[in-house]
Amino acid sequence: MSLVDRRRAIRHLLDERNPADGLETYLAFYHDDRRTILRPYPFDSTRPVGYVCLSRTGADLFRPFITLRLPIHDPELSAHVIYDGIDAGTAVLLQCPDSYLPLVNALFQVQTEETLQLFQLKPDQYQPHINVLVTQDISPTNNLPRFIIRNRQSGGEIVASASLNWQTDTFGEIAVYTHPDYRRRGWGRSVVSTMVNWLLENGRTPLYAASQSNAPSRQLAERVGFTYTGVQKTLIQGILQPRP
């Protein structure tokens, strides 16, 4: 079964219009074919009950980034999906819905765990924040547009930037960075607002993921016009333990 066939087979497990499925949709259907391994369960089924997607991303050059869909109502079957998709002993980055955590914690040796909250732009709450310091260039990590502010007095150092973690035909997820010495000037808001404009002009809905522990990041999103969707996921670093 080709990658195209496997993608077609798992279509019913994801909703491309649902922001909760945005990252999973991107990695399963849009990510570079050469850096994507998709393992439906059962593997040769035309309508599988779950899947594991192993993606090589810039987040880690040595560990695959794992996303998955499980028949979580059946923990034993869900474990089969995981062990058919990932070799025991594999070190991974894995992002999953919180409902998967009891099973994930039972099967993986978890080293770190971070809770992420998903925000979606509400157009009626959005007010563009224009700053003439913002310029556009290309992100070196994925060749997608990014918007930056440089400090011209220090050799053009980038002190604020908004880039895209990923984009599909429906959504684009924004990442933002502001140098610690240049915070509280509104520059993070400026670059994020400019990226929001770019996504809207290109027919995509902006998304923003923030760590539950990062209050300034969540506040920045809300100031721009993002609203918490209620979707919460967990990102872990861990190693899949031997099959029980």
Token reading at 187: 């520059």
Same domain, 160 and 104: no
Question: Do 138 and 89 fall within a single domain?
Answer: no
Q: What share of the chain is helix, strand, coil (3-state, %, to 5)?
A: 35, 40, 25
- Nearest CA to 148 among 132, 135, 130, 129? 135
Task: Mark whether 136 and 44 lie in a shared domain.
Answer: no
Is the pLDDT assigned to residue 214 strictly greater than 80?
yes
CATH number for the domain that contains residue 180: 3.40.630.30
Residues 11 and 106 in one domain: yes
For 94-143, write each residue's pLDDT tens digit. Answer: 999 999 999 999 999 999 999 999 999 998 888 888 888 899 999 998 99
Same domain (yes/no): 150, 102: no
- Environment class of residue 99 by beta-carbon count within 10 Å: exposed (0-12), middle (13-18) or buried (19+)? exposed
pTM to 2 decimal places: 0.93
pLDDT, mean over the chain: 94
* Domain of residue 138, residue span: 123-224
- 57, 112: one domain: yes
Q: The domain that contains 26 carries what CATH number?
A: 3.40.630
Residue 16 and residue 107 share a domain: yes
The answer on 190 and 216 residing in a single domain is yes
pLDDT tens-digit readout, 167-212: 999 999 999 999 888 788 888 999 999 999 999 999 999 999 999 9
Residue 125: the pLDDT is 85
Closest residue by Cα to residue 52 from 13, 108, 102: 13
Is 84 strand, coil or helix? helix
Contact 101, 236 (CB under 8 A): no
Distance between first and last Cα of the chain: 29
Q: 4 pLDDT band (50/70/90 cuts)? A: very high
Give yes or no: residues 179 and 107 share one domain: no
For residues 216 and 132, state if they share a domain.
yes
188/169 same-domain check: yes
Kind of pairing between the strands at 171-178 and 205-211: parallel
Predicted pLDDT of residue 157: 87
> Could you give the C-alpha distances from 168 to 24, 89, 165, in angstroms and in order?
11, 32, 11
Residue-wise pLDDT tens digits, 110-122? 999 999 999 999 9
Q: In whole angstroms, how far apart are CA 199 and each of 166, 173, 219?
A: 12, 9, 20
pLDDT of residue 173: 98
> Tell me, what's the pLDDT at 187?
87
Shared domain check, 13 and 39: yes
Position 72 scores a pLDDT of: 97
Tally the domains of the chain. Answer: 2
pLDDT of 154 higher than 80:
no
